[in-house]
Amino acid sequence: MPPISFRNLARYVQNVEANLPLYQALGFEVRQRMGTDMAILQNEEGLKLVLHSWSDHQGRLLDTAIGFTVTGTLDEARKYLEDAGFRLLRAPEDSDAGFFYIYGDLDGNPINLVARRPTPT
């Protein structure tokens, strides 16, 4: 069994607040806001959609990522993705609203590996 499980879809947008009404019109309700850069929405079927502004996309057009929750250890999950051929695009930064690694497929399409920030030892 893989050490990860499906979490959500993430839609990258220029302005989270301006886009919220569009997705609310599609039946998504805001469940949580994380500053002005991120909002977590959910529809009645339970699908989670994260609207996220991401300025570190290096000029590439990005619109959607698939999020996975770490269910094993973080090391197991990262090794699993790297062994499958995914490439690390971005490691967590202290300023991030959450703790996640962004991996890319062969075309650089992102998947987010979401975990809890490790406690210092």
What confidence tens digit (pLDDT) does each residue in 5-20 have? 999 998 888 788 988 9
pTM: 0.70
pLDDT of 92 strictly over 70: yes
4-114 CATH pick, 2.60.40.10, 3.30.310.80, 3.10.180.10, 3.30.70.100: 3.10.180.10
The 10 Å CB-count burial string (b at 16+, else e) for 88-111 is ebbebeeeeebebbbbbeeeebbb
The pLDDT of residue 60 is: 62
| pLDDT number for residue 61 | 63
Quick one: which H or E segment has residue 109? none
Residue spans of the domains in the chain: they are 4-114
State the average pLDDT over residues 71-82. Answer: 93
From 112, 115, 119, select the one nearest 10 (Cα to Cα).
112
pLDDT in tens, 20-75: 998 898 889 999 999 888 999 999 989 999 988 876 655 566 678 888 999 999 99
pLDDT of residue 109 exceeding 80, the answer is no
